[in-house]
Chains A and B, each alone.
Chain A
Amino acid sequence: MTSDSSKPVEIRGLTKHYGDIVAVDHVNLTVERGDVYGYLGPNGAGKTTSLRMMLGLISPTAGCVRLFGRDPTASVSALEGVAGFVEAPRFYPYLSGRRNMEMLAAFDGNGAGSRVDAALETVELTDRAGDRVGGYSHGMRQRLGIAAALVREPKLLLLDEPATGLDPAGMRDMRRLVRRLADGGMTVVLSSHLMNEVEELCNRVAIVRSGAIVYEGEIADLKRTAVATYRLRTTDDVLALSVCERHPGLREVRAEAGEIRFSAGEDAVADLSRGLVETGALIRAVAPETATLEDLFFSLTEGPANGSGEPQALAVTAPA
């Protein structure tokens, strides 16, 4: 039985070494019930290794994983209520999709066999269920992977880059499916290097770089930490420029194409508006060029590491 009070995923100090290579470096994260949690990082950042440890496929060098309070490396019973796949889902190519599903349902027990048809229906594979998996496209195998997870009636779904390798329509369908499952109350952990996928689906993210987490929390919070670029037009741009240049919290102030541009946090912008009014340069328009998750991702995963593991203020050059 899963403990109602336990969180779907709690990871503390999770570390995996392969010889001198540190694949996962002291990862801490918590996934709350109902989260659609993005585990975001470039290729080779340790996402899949972390997911393998979550599913008990590999043992950590140090640290621990708890799924609903239970250790998946100690017993497969920790996976009760948990399903998913790492990398591409794989099946026996010489068996049909349905027979693969029946086998996995038999390995699940708990009446999973009676859910095979519904799971195939959910992923729209009923018509091809009798065909050998060896003849399936990549997208069909991905969907069969979801179906194989659904027969377990999971409360927590762990998916490793589920849209990778799919064509645009397949990616759209996969995201719709994940969204539908999440809307049904399922907690989802989704590893990805596709920013738009995570931004579209997830409410919380962990961003990993070289095995270590460089940010964990709400996407909205992450965006608030970014120092976005603003465009400002006033009734007196000359006066406003001089106010902006003197105003604390504003950086990279410049006049450009009939506008004033600067970088600042939201609080500094609020303060600036008062300063402009007091000097008589009234605001016609102030427009933030909000950083996308992609901007933030590159800021966190490229360039020198800060090594703190804490959220930091991010200087983001937003697209014009």
Chain B
Amino acid sequence: MNPNAMTVYRWELRKLRFQKRTYLGLGAAVAVPIIFVVATSLQSGGPEDVAFGRYIHKSGLAIPLVLLLFGAVWLFPLITALVAGDIIASEDHNGTLKTILTRSLERGQIFRGKAWAAASYAVAAILLSGTVAVVAGCLASGFNPLTTLSGTRVSAMSALGLVAASLGVYLLPTLAIVCIGLLLSAATRNSAAAIVGTLMISLLIQLIGILPGLGGVQPYLLSTQFNAWEGLLRSPADWVPVIRSVWVCALYGLPALGAAYLVFVRRDVAGG
């Protein structure tokens, strides 16, 4: 059987199983919802100033939604960057780029396999965190109907569907972060620089969003797209932010992904 990008993808996933950083990120994705649920269970109130914060004691399904809002600040960008920023740069660090580039795979196939693996990890982390938040939230506050942002109540099953859909929409900016991480990983050839750089870019975009006089650009910032799922939690659903999230995230992610690809396939491998 001839090797292809899927061969690389499968082996990248196997390699992730043997690396500590994999479990660091996934551990945080599991631990943070549990810590959040335990902490809020010990208090009578909740984070009133965020959407669904006031409902966390009434429905466990509010917990994952609040976590999505908090996680957008640094948690999920960091978990995403842990692998996306490392997956190419670590080859430089280990000196293994020359090892894999002298086999029977084109550089483009290797890049695609790595990109899919980084994206899979980010998706797995978000879905794992969301699942843990749903389970922990429902154990603490019950599998109860949820009040939407429009004030209407939806059944627990419908709310669960909305949470799943929200997680799906949340993946759009997450994948854009993956692309930025891949670019920094390929360009800097340094895992720490790529991981921190990816997180810094994410935080910088959030800072731009709170600068006075820049309200006009707010809908087009990557950080804003982490809130696009809120459109689904209205009655009727507001698809405008969701659709905008699709193309805004593409505008951030695809050029970064293309640049990462070009850097990877064209670079001289002179070190290691």
Contact = CB atoms under 8 A, between A and B. Distances in A.
A42 to B, nearest CB: 19
Contacts of B272: 87, 90
Contacts of A108: 3, 103-104
B106 A76 contact: yes
B268 interface: yes
Nearest to B104: A108
A208 to B, nearest CB: 17
Interface string A58-97: 1100000000000000011101100111111111111100
Nearest to A106: B7
A104 B99 contact: yes
A52 interface: yes
B96 interface: yes
B3 A109 contact: yes
A152 B100 CA distance: 13
A57 B268 contact: yes
Nearest to A88: B95
A85 B98 contact: yes
Nearest to B105: A107
Contacts of A227: none
A235 interface: no
Contacts of B14: 99, 103
Which of A52, A77, A85, A109 is most buried by chain B, counting CB atoms within 10 A of its CB? A109
Given A56-B102, A80-B104, A93 B94 contact: yes
B4 to A, nearest CB: 9
Contacts of A88: 95
Contacts of B269: 52, 57-58
Contacts of A95: 15, 18
Interface string B1-24: 111000110110011001100000
B31 interface: no
B243 interface: no
Interface string B89-122: 0000011101111111111000000000000000
A84 B102 contact: yes
Given A52-B269, A90-B94, A93-B94, A104 B106 contact: no
Contacts of B19: 94
A148 interface: yes
Nearest to B15: A92
A59 B94 contact: no
A111 to B, nearest CB: 9
Contact of B270 (A57, A79, A148): A57
A91 B18 contact: no
B104 A110 contact: yes
Contacts of A31: none
A222 interface: no
DSSP majority for the A interface? loop
A59 B269 CA distance: 9
A94 B18 contact: yes
Contacts of B3: 106-109
Contacts of B7: 106-107, 109
Contacts of B8: 107
B106 A79 contact: no
A116 interface: no
B99 A57 contact: no
A75 B104 contact: no
A79 B104 contact: yes
A55 interface: yes
Contacts of A92: 15, 18, 94, 96
Given A95-B15, A107-B8, A108-B3, A89 B99 contact: yes
A148 B99 contact: yes
Given A75-B106, A92-B94, A109-B1, A104 B100 contact: yes
Nearest to B102: A55
A55 B107 CA distance: 13
Which of A49, A91, A104 is most buried by chain B, counting CB atoms within 10 A of its CB? A104
A93 B95 CA distance: 11
A80 B102 CA distance: 10
B104 A90 contact: no
A94 B90 CA distance: 12
A73 to B, nearest CB: 10
Contact of B268 (A59, A90, A91, A93): A59
A107 B104 contact: yes
A92 to B, nearest CB: 6
Contacts of A77: 104
Contacts of A57: 98, 101-102, 268-270
A56 B97 CA distance: 12
Given A58-B270, A106-B10, A107-B11, 4 more contacts: A57-B268, A77-B104, A85-B99, A110-B104
Interface of B: 1-3, 7-8, 10-11, 14-15, 18-19, 94-96, 98-107, 268-270, 272
19 contacts: A55-B98, A57-B101, A57-B102, A57-B268, A76-B105, A79-B104, A80-B104, A87-B272, A90-B95, A91-B96, A91-B99, A92-B18, A94-B15, A95-B15, A103-B11, A107-B7, A107-B103, A107-B105, A109-B104
Closest 7 CB pairs of A and B: A90-B95, A58-B268, A107-B103, A57-B269, A109-B3, A109-B2, A94-B18
